[in-house]
Amino acid sequence: MDLKKYIRTIPDFPKKGIQFRDITTLISNPDAFSGTIDIFHEHYKIRRIDVIAGIESRGFIFGGALADRLGVGFIPIRKKGKLPGGTISETYDLEYGTDTLEIHDDAIKEGQQVLLLDDLIATGGSLEAAGKLIERLGGEIIEAAVVIELVELGGREKIEPLKLYSLARYEGE
């Protein structure tokens, strides 16, 4: 399935010069959304995965659906101040400033096999921060998975040695 035909490009959003890759057109199409989950499921169904950790907010959409399909739990990684109870946090750099992700401090057990999932990787900052949170709790990340990879922004290199599985790669398009 060519997922790119279901992903809308919005020029100059959120600022001039950015080609925003919008997944709302993919997830609103039941065949495309189901097909996306099918591709992830086929790739991961033979791997040992205890839980899927999804990054707020679009990582929840794909991560929750895949967790259900694989019969494993789902763990939300959220922006600061959104989770009740005890949390740990990790701050990462943005183009202009910083942001912080949090996870419940009891979300992952020592040695659990974790698939880290988000909708998109650009510079890799949020995936890198999420990976650090999982590792601090003793989880073992089997791989990071994304629907969209913006190759020219170098996110894959930033999260190394973590392996990255991406479905739709954009290279300067």
Is 58 among the catalytic positions?
A: yes
Among 21, 58, 78, 156, the active-site one is 58
DSSP string for 19-85: EEEETHHHHTSHHHHHHHHHHHHHHHTTS--SEEEEETTHHHHHHHHHHHHHT-EEEEEEETT-S-S
Buried b / exposed e along 108-133 (16+ C-beta atoms within 10 A): beeebbbbbbbbbbbbbbbbbbbbeb
Q: In sequence order, what are the beta bridge partners of 54?
A: 76, 117
| Total Cβ atoms within 10 A of residue 18 | 12
Among 42, 90, 95, 135, the active-site one is 95
Residues with catalytic roles: 58, 95
